[in-house]
Amino acid sequence: MKILFVSQVVPYPPHGGVLQRGFNLLRELGRHHELHLLAFHHRDVLRTAEAVAESQRVLGEFCASVRYFPLWPKRSRLHLYAGLLAALPLSYPFSVLAHRCRSLSTQVQSACHNTLRPDIVHLDTIALAPYRACCGDVPVVMTHHNVESSLMFRRARLERNFLVKAYVSLQARRLAALGGCRGQPPARLSRALRKTCQTDVERSSTHD
């Protein structure tokens, strides 16, 4: 099977959390399928050109192709704060705005319609849901790992700073609306995501 894997982060180095999970998913998929990775580069994770090159070399051992894209809020603190403010009047969460990338949209659209023609596209977080529109008739699966909105609601409850608490709570509600759920059981979550995002839903038994 030919898989186009779109990730919110370069899953390297595999040191815990989302990086370890993503790395192991790619390694196992690459053993049995033709895997093509498109990922957002986080400058605070891969800080040097040497680190980027090493990640491409290692991931290239089980991916047929590897390509990275800039995550614009990570360019500077000014970009981050501007993005946080710009997200306030929007109906969708900041994470969706943060992952907007014209070059990635073009690449996904080109891969699905012309150059690659994958059998399936994997979107590795709900914040990447808008890229579904670039996939045409190619089947799409999407991960809502740990149900991110529930984790944000929990963080909002624990946050002591009033402004931060209000902002995180707002983003949690928007993220839950994007997924059509808030901590719902797997079967109900699957139905909600299919209805909201027109994707299939995968269930994973992997743990960080």
pLDDT of residue 207: 43
- 27-59 as b/e, with b when 16 or more CB fall inside 10 Å? bebbeebbbbbbbbbbeebbeeeeebeebbebb
Q: For 8-49, how does the pLDDT look when each residue is reduced to its tens digit (9 = 90+)? A: 999 999 987 889 999 999 999 999 999 999 999 999 999 999
Half-sphere exposure of 158 (CA within 13 A, CB side): 6
- Choice among 77-91, 137-151, 192-206 with the minimum mean pLDDT: 192-206
User: Is 84 a residue whose pLDDT tops 50?
Assistant: yes
**What domains can be seen in the chain, in order of their start residue?**
2-146+185-201 (3.40.50)
Provide the pLDDT for residue 40. 97
| Phi and psi angles of residue 100, each rounded to the nearest 5 degrees, phi first | -70, 130
Q: Is the dihedral of CA 107, 109, 110, 111 positive or negative?
A: positive
- What is the rounded CA–CA span in Å between residue 98 and residue 106? 17
- Decide if pLDDT at 67 tops 90: yes
Average confidence score pLDDT of the chain: 86
- Provide the residue type at 198 as one letter: Q
Query: Does position 175 have pLDDT exceeding 80, yes or no?
Result: yes
Rounded-to-integer distance, Cα 7 and Cα 99, Å: 10
